[in-house]
Chain A
Amino acid sequence: AQSVTQLDSQVPVFEEAPVELRCNYSSSVSVYLFWYVQYPNQGLQLLLKYLSGSTLVKGINGFEAEFNKSQTSFHLRKPSVHISDTAEYFCAVTLTSGTYKYIFGTGTRLKVLA
Protein backbone atom coordinates (compact mmCIF):
# COMPACT_ATOMS: atom_id res chain seq x y z
CA ALA A 1 0.00 0.00 0.00
CA GLN A 2 1.14 3.51 -0.69
CA SER A 3 1.97 6.02 2.05
CA VAL A 4 3.17 9.60 2.40
CA THR A 5 5.44 11.17 4.98
CA GLN A 6 5.73 14.89 5.51
CA LEU A 7 8.77 15.33 7.67
CA ASP A 8 8.03 18.79 9.04
CA SER A 9 4.83 19.59 10.88
CA GLN A 10 5.60 23.31 11.01
CA VAL A 11 7.93 25.52 9.02
CA PRO A 12 8.41 29.16 10.02
CA VAL A 13 10.11 31.36 7.44
CA PHE A 14 10.60 35.08 6.95
CA GLU A 15 8.88 36.89 4.11
CA GLU A 16 10.84 36.87 0.84
CA ALA A 17 12.99 33.95 2.01
CA PRO A 18 13.01 30.64 0.13
CA VAL A 19 11.22 27.61 1.51
CA GLU A 20 11.23 23.86 0.97
CA LEU A 21 8.51 21.57 2.30
CA ARG A 22 9.53 17.94 2.29
CA CYS A 23 7.48 14.96 1.15
CA ASN A 24 8.51 11.33 0.85
CA TYR A 25 6.31 8.54 -0.42
CA SER A 26 6.34 4.80 -0.31
CA SER A 27 4.98 2.60 -3.09
CA SER A 28 6.03 -0.54 -4.90
CA VAL A 29 4.45 0.65 -8.16
CA SER A 30 4.37 3.88 -10.10
CA VAL A 31 2.49 6.82 -8.62
CA TYR A 32 1.00 10.19 -9.31
CA LEU A 33 1.97 12.90 -6.81
CA PHE A 34 0.19 16.07 -5.73
CA TRP A 35 0.58 19.07 -3.48
CA TYR A 36 -2.53 20.72 -2.08
CA VAL A 37 -2.86 23.91 -0.05
CA GLN A 38 -5.48 24.66 2.57
CA TYR A 39 -5.94 28.24 3.67
CA PRO A 40 -7.69 28.87 6.99
CA ASN A 41 -11.37 27.97 6.85
CA GLN A 42 -11.17 26.97 3.20
CA GLY A 43 -11.19 23.74 1.22
CA LEU A 44 -8.14 22.06 -0.27
CA GLN A 45 -6.86 23.48 -3.55
CA LEU A 46 -4.43 21.87 -5.94
CA LEU A 47 -1.01 23.56 -6.14
CA LEU A 48 0.63 21.22 -8.61
CA LYS A 49 0.82 17.61 -9.73
CA TYR A 50 3.26 15.14 -11.20
CA LEU A 51 1.83 12.60 -13.60
CA SER A 52 4.73 11.85 -15.95
CA GLY A 53 7.40 13.54 -18.03
CA SER A 54 9.58 16.30 -16.67
CA THR A 55 10.45 15.76 -13.04
CA LEU A 56 10.31 19.49 -12.30
CA VAL A 57 6.72 20.57 -12.01
CA LYS A 58 5.56 24.16 -11.79
CA GLY A 59 2.34 25.10 -10.08
CA ILE A 60 0.32 28.10 -9.08
CA ASN A 61 1.53 31.02 -6.96
CA GLY A 62 5.18 30.48 -7.88
CA PHE A 63 5.50 27.03 -6.31
CA GLU A 64 7.39 24.17 -7.91
CA ALA A 65 8.22 20.60 -6.96
CA GLU A 66 10.71 18.02 -8.10
CA PHE A 67 9.94 14.33 -8.42
CA ASN A 68 12.91 12.19 -7.42
CA LYS A 69 12.18 8.54 -8.04
CA SER A 70 15.42 7.20 -6.53
CA GLN A 71 14.81 9.06 -3.29
CA THR A 72 11.02 8.63 -3.47
CA SER A 73 10.60 12.32 -2.76
CA PHE A 74 8.46 15.15 -4.07
CA HIS A 75 9.62 18.27 -2.24
CA LEU A 76 7.81 21.57 -2.69
CA ARG A 77 9.78 24.79 -3.11
CA LYS A 78 9.24 28.49 -3.51
CA PRO A 79 12.14 30.91 -4.01
CA SER A 80 10.49 33.83 -2.21
CA VAL A 81 7.47 33.49 0.06
CA HIS A 82 4.80 36.03 0.88
CA ILE A 83 2.68 36.52 3.96
CA SER A 84 -0.26 35.22 1.94
CA ASP A 85 1.45 31.82 1.57
CA THR A 86 0.74 31.11 5.23
CA ALA A 87 -1.35 27.94 5.08
CA GLU A 88 -1.34 24.17 5.54
CA TYR A 89 0.28 22.18 2.74
CA PHE A 90 -0.50 18.54 2.03
CA CYS A 91 1.35 16.06 -0.14
CA ALA A 92 -0.73 13.26 -1.67
CA VAL A 93 -0.14 10.12 -3.71
CA THR A 94 -2.23 7.78 -5.79
CA LEU A 95 -1.31 4.78 -7.91
CA THR A 96 -1.26 5.04 -11.68
CA SER A 97 -3.41 1.92 -11.96
CA GLY A 98 -5.49 -0.36 -9.80
CA THR A 99 -6.91 1.44 -6.79
CA TYR A 100 -7.81 5.09 -7.21
CA LYS A 101 -7.46 5.86 -3.52
CA TYR A 102 -5.56 9.05 -2.74
CA ILE A 103 -3.43 9.04 0.40
CA PHE A 104 -2.51 12.31 2.07
CA GLY A 105 0.33 13.24 4.37
CA THR A 106 -0.22 14.78 7.77
CA GLY A 107 0.52 18.25 6.46
CA THR A 108 3.07 21.00 6.97
CA ARG A 109 1.98 24.31 8.43
CA LEU A 110 3.88 27.11 6.69
CA LYS A 111 4.04 30.28 8.76
CA VAL A 112 5.45 33.28 6.92
CA LEU A 113 6.78 35.93 9.26
CA ALA A 114 7.02 39.64 8.49
Chain B
Amino acid sequence: DTGVSQDPRHKITKRGQNVTFRCDPISEHNRLYWYRQTLGQGPEFLTYFQNEAQLEKSRLLSDRFSAERPKGSFSTLEIQRTEQGDSAMYLCASTARESTGELFFGEGSRLTVL
Protein backbone atom coordinates (compact mmCIF):
# COMPACT_ATOMS: atom_id res chain seq x y z
CA ASP B 1 0.00 0.00 0.00
CA THR B 2 1.81 3.05 -1.28
CA GLY B 3 -1.01 5.46 -0.60
CA VAL B 4 -2.71 7.92 -2.94
CA SER B 5 -0.23 9.92 -4.98
CA GLN B 6 -0.86 13.15 -6.85
CA ASP B 7 1.22 14.92 -9.44
CA PRO B 8 2.32 17.64 -9.71
CA ARG B 9 2.33 18.80 -6.12
CA HIS B 10 2.52 22.42 -7.18
CA LYS B 11 1.56 24.12 -10.41
CA ILE B 12 1.86 27.80 -11.25
CA THR B 13 0.24 28.89 -14.47
CA LYS B 14 -0.92 31.99 -16.24
CA ARG B 15 -4.57 32.78 -16.67
CA GLY B 16 -5.99 31.19 -19.77
CA GLN B 17 -3.64 28.21 -19.81
CA ASN B 18 -4.76 24.61 -19.44
CA VAL B 19 -3.55 22.44 -16.59
CA THR B 20 -3.83 18.73 -15.86
CA PHE B 21 -3.46 16.91 -12.57
CA ARG B 22 -2.94 13.20 -12.14
CA CYS B 23 -4.03 10.96 -9.29
CA ASP B 24 -2.91 7.40 -8.66
CA PRO B 25 -5.20 5.78 -6.09
CA ILE B 26 -4.42 2.86 -3.83
CA SER B 27 -4.24 -0.08 -6.20
CA GLU B 28 -7.26 -2.10 -5.07
CA HIS B 29 -9.54 0.91 -4.65
CA ASN B 30 -12.26 1.19 -7.26
CA ARG B 31 -13.78 4.50 -6.16
CA LEU B 32 -11.86 7.69 -6.79
CA TYR B 33 -12.82 11.22 -5.77
CA TRP B 34 -11.72 14.73 -6.64
CA TYR B 35 -12.17 17.62 -4.23
CA ARG B 36 -11.13 21.26 -4.25
CA GLN B 37 -10.02 23.04 -1.10
CA THR B 38 -9.44 26.77 -0.71
CA LEU B 39 -7.81 28.44 2.26
CA GLY B 40 -9.89 28.16 5.39
CA GLN B 41 -12.53 25.97 3.76
CA GLY B 42 -13.37 22.31 3.79
CA PRO B 43 -12.93 20.03 0.81
CA GLU B 44 -15.55 20.78 -1.82
CA PHE B 45 -16.80 17.80 -3.81
CA LEU B 46 -16.06 17.91 -7.54
CA THR B 47 -16.66 14.42 -8.92
CA TYR B 48 -16.23 10.72 -8.28
CA PHE B 49 -15.67 7.52 -10.24
CA GLN B 50 -16.48 3.92 -9.67
CA ASN B 51 -13.98 2.07 -11.80
CA GLU B 52 -13.97 4.00 -15.10
CA ALA B 53 -17.51 5.34 -14.78
CA GLN B 54 -17.98 8.92 -13.63
CA LEU B 55 -21.01 8.56 -11.39
CA GLU B 56 -21.52 12.09 -10.13
CA LYS B 57 -20.29 15.55 -10.93
CA SER B 58 -20.87 18.69 -8.90
CA ARG B 59 -23.22 21.20 -10.46
CA LEU B 60 -20.78 23.85 -9.29
CA LEU B 61 -18.20 22.49 -11.68
CA SER B 62 -18.01 24.54 -14.82
CA ASP B 63 -17.57 23.10 -18.30
CA ARG B 64 -13.91 24.06 -18.12
CA PHE B 65 -13.33 21.16 -15.74
CA SER B 66 -13.15 17.59 -16.95
CA ALA B 67 -12.06 14.41 -15.27
CA GLU B 68 -11.31 10.96 -16.65
CA ARG B 69 -10.40 7.56 -15.35
CA PRO B 70 -9.97 5.66 -18.60
CA LYS B 71 -8.91 2.24 -17.31
CA GLY B 72 -10.31 2.41 -13.83
CA SER B 73 -6.90 3.02 -12.33
CA PHE B 74 -5.33 6.50 -12.38
CA SER B 75 -7.40 9.61 -13.00
CA THR B 76 -6.75 13.02 -14.53
CA LEU B 77 -8.42 16.33 -13.80
CA GLU B 78 -8.06 18.96 -16.50
CA ILE B 79 -8.89 22.62 -16.14
CA GLN B 80 -9.12 24.54 -19.39
CA ARG B 81 -8.70 28.29 -19.75
CA THR B 82 -7.75 28.71 -16.11
CA GLU B 83 -9.00 31.68 -14.12
CA GLN B 84 -7.61 33.20 -10.95
CA GLY B 85 -10.58 31.79 -9.06
CA ASP B 86 -9.36 28.30 -9.88
CA SER B 87 -6.42 28.77 -7.54
CA ALA B 88 -6.85 26.10 -4.87
CA MET B 89 -5.62 22.77 -3.60
CA TYR B 90 -7.01 19.89 -5.63
CA LEU B 91 -7.37 16.74 -3.56
CA CYS B 92 -7.75 13.19 -4.71
CA ALA B 93 -9.08 10.39 -2.52
CA SER B 94 -9.89 6.74 -3.01
CA THR B 95 -11.76 3.96 -1.29
CA ALA B 96 -12.71 0.36 -1.92
CA ARG B 97 -16.27 -0.46 -2.81
CA GLU B 98 -16.57 -2.96 -0.02
CA SER B 99 -14.66 -0.84 2.47
CA THR B 100 -15.86 0.52 5.75
CA GLY B 101 -16.24 3.91 4.22
CA GLU B 102 -12.94 5.63 4.87
CA LEU B 103 -11.56 7.91 2.18
CA PHE B 104 -7.79 7.85 1.78
CA PHE B 105 -6.46 11.21 0.64
CA GLY B 106 -3.41 12.22 -1.31
CA GLU B 107 -1.41 15.27 -0.30
CA GLY B 108 -3.00 17.36 -3.00
CA SER B 109 -1.96 19.43 -6.00
CA ARG B 110 -1.74 23.13 -5.35
CA LEU B 111 -2.70 25.33 -8.29
CA THR B 112 -1.78 29.00 -8.47
CA VAL B 113 -3.19 30.96 -11.39
CA LEU B 114 -1.46 34.28 -12.01
Contacts and interface: CB of A to CB of B under 8 A. Distances in A.
Interface in A1-47: 4, 6, 9, 32, 34, 36, 42-46
B76 to A, nearest CB: 19
Contacts of B93: 44, 102
B91 A43 contact: yes
B108 interface: yes
Given A100-B50, A101-B56, A51 B45 contact: no
Given A43-B106, A101-B45, A51 B40 contact: no
B107 interface: yes
- Size category of the B interface is 20 to 34
Contacts of A105: 42
B102 A34 contact: yes
Given A101-B45, A104-B43, A51 B108 contact: no
23 contacts: A4-B42, A34-B101, A43-B4, A43-B91, A43-B107, A44-B43, A44-B91, A44-B105, A45-B105, A51-B100, A99-B55, A100-B31, A100-B50, A101-B45, A102-B93, A102-B103, A103-B45, A104-B42, A104-B44, A106-B40, A106-B41, A106-B42, A107-B40
